[in-house]
Structure 1
Amino acid sequence: MLQIDTLNQYYGESHTLWDLSVTFPEGECTCVMGRNGVGKTTLMDCIMGLRPLRSGAIQFQDHNLARLPAERRAGLGIGYVPQGRQIFPLLSVEENLRIGLPARADRSRHIPDFIFELFPVLDQMRGRRGGDLSGGQQQQLAIGRALVIDPKLLILDEPTEGIQPNIVHEIGDIIRRLMEQLGLTVILVEQKLPFARRVGDRFAILDRGRLKAEGTMDALGDELVREYLTV
């Protein structure tokens, strides 16, 4: 589904991602893990075209994303839920959802009904401003906005950050449901190990901008956790 090959990225003269190569298999949830500041969000921003690359390739199906403008990537079927949600606080819930519709390949201008089936609270609050929602409701809105484009790949950057436990559990259930029912491929940036183990099929661990380990979730043992994930 998504293949990254020898990717290098810099902030000025600071080398932040080092010859990074990793594969995200189709139909699976891969958890990108690591301590704060190791390059997880930078990698997601590179996939979405929000940060420039120095070198390397990002292959999504038949498209090399490395030189593709950011505004064209959603149209290929990549949904992105950024860290911090980044909804539009002064727009209504419905207006936030409609923002993604122009990226749909079928040009539909109708919010899919299944969005409101997944997140009934969004249906109840269609006219309420996004900034008036709770943190958990805003996260549901951000995920709904990404799903509106009918993605094949869904990227979620720290979706459980600052969210109450019952909503965290619900989000995990929804991720698995989307994969099983819609065949979505998911990249999940996550630091909560129990959540990652429950939701993920695979893991990829970053440290100081380098890939240190990857594999199926059952291969994420205590030694790797101690070396790269504990604070």
Structure 2
Amino acid sequence: MLHIESLNQFYGESHTLWDINVTIPQGVCLCLMGRNGMGKTTLLKTLMGLLPAKSGQILFEGEQLLHYPADIRPKLGIAYVPQGREIFPQLTVEENLHIGLMAGKEKFKEIPEKIFQLFPVLKQMLKRRGGDLSGGQQQQLAIGRALAFNPKLLILDEPTEGIQPNIVREIGDIICHLNQDEGMTVLLVEQKLPFARRVAQEFCILDKGRAVSSGKMTELNDDMIQNYLTV
């Protein structure tokens, strides 16, 4: 579904992504791993068109994404939940979800009931401002907003960061449901190793902007963890 080939990216004169090659098959959950500052968020932002690529290819269902501006990529079926959630704090839960509806190719008028089945708390708080929600509730809102237009690929950047343990479990359950039961393809950045092992079938490790190891999650061994993930 998603194929990244020889991707390079620069911040000014600084070379941040070096010849990245990653492939995510349809229906797979892949976890992008690595210590802080190794290029994971940069890669996601480049995928979404928020940062320019210097060279290489990003193919989504055969379409060259580098030809499209950032606002078109959701219309192709790609949803992005950034690190820090970035909901609109002054807007209500309902208004935040309606913004998600507008991102996709189809202009749905009603919030899908599926969102409230996945996140019942959002239905209870429709008229509450996003900024008044707890961190865990805001993360649920951010994911619900991303799912509102029924994407084919869900990209999540650190969805468990700063979230209480019971919400972390719920988010893990939802990712597993979307991926394993509904067949949604997921690209996930995650630091918590037990969470990553639970939800993802494949991994790719970035180190200093390079993809240094990848494979099935069952192949992630202690040497890789010690060399590239342990702080």
TM-score, normalisation: structure 2: 0.99
Distance in 2 (CA, whole Å) between partners of 1:175 and 1:47 is 20
Aligned to 1:16: 16
Aligned to 1:186: 186
Distance in 2 (CA, whole Å) between partners of 1:114 and 1:34 is 33
Q: 1:206-231 deviations in whole A, cap 9, x for unaligned?
A: 00000000000000000000000000
AA matched with 2:20: L
Distance in 2 (CA, whole Å) between partners of 1:192 and 1:126 is 31
Matched, 1:101 2:101: yes
Aligned to 2:130: 130
Q: 1:58-103 deviations in whole A, cap 9, x for unaligned?
A: 0000210012100000000001000000000000000000002123
AA matched with 2:227: E
Q: 1:28-81 deviations in whole A, cap 9, x for unaligned?
A: 110000000000000000000000011011000021001210000000000100
Residue 149 of structure 1, CA deviation: 1.5
Task: Please list every run of 5 or more consecutive structure 1 residues that lacks an aligned counterpart in the other structure.
Answer: none
Aligned to 1:69: 69
Runs of 4+ in 1 over 4 A off after TM superposition: none
Provide the secondary structure at the position in 2 that maps to 1:99: helix
TM-score, normalisation: structure 1: 0.99
Q: 1:113-148 deviations in whole A, cap 9, x for unaligned?
A: 010010000000000000000000000000000000
CA contact (8 A) 2:19 2:210 kept: yes
Residue 180 of structure 1, CA deviation: 2.6
Distance in 1 (CA, whole Å) between partners of 2:211 and 2:149 is 30
Distance in 2 (CA, whole Å) between partners of 1:37 and 1:106 is 36
Provide the secondary structure at the position in 2 that maps to 1:101: helix
CA contact (8 A) 2:74 2:105 kept: no
Aligned to 2:81: 81
- % of aligned pairs identical? 65
Count of residue correspondences: 231
Aligned to 2:56: 56
AA matched with 2:22: V
Q: 1:161-213 deviations in whole A, cap 9, x for unaligned?
A: 00000100110000010113321000010010010001110000000000000
Aligned to 2:33: 33
Task: Please list every run of 5 or more consecutive structure 2 residues that lacks an aligned counterpart in the other structure.
Answer: none
AA matched with 1:3: H
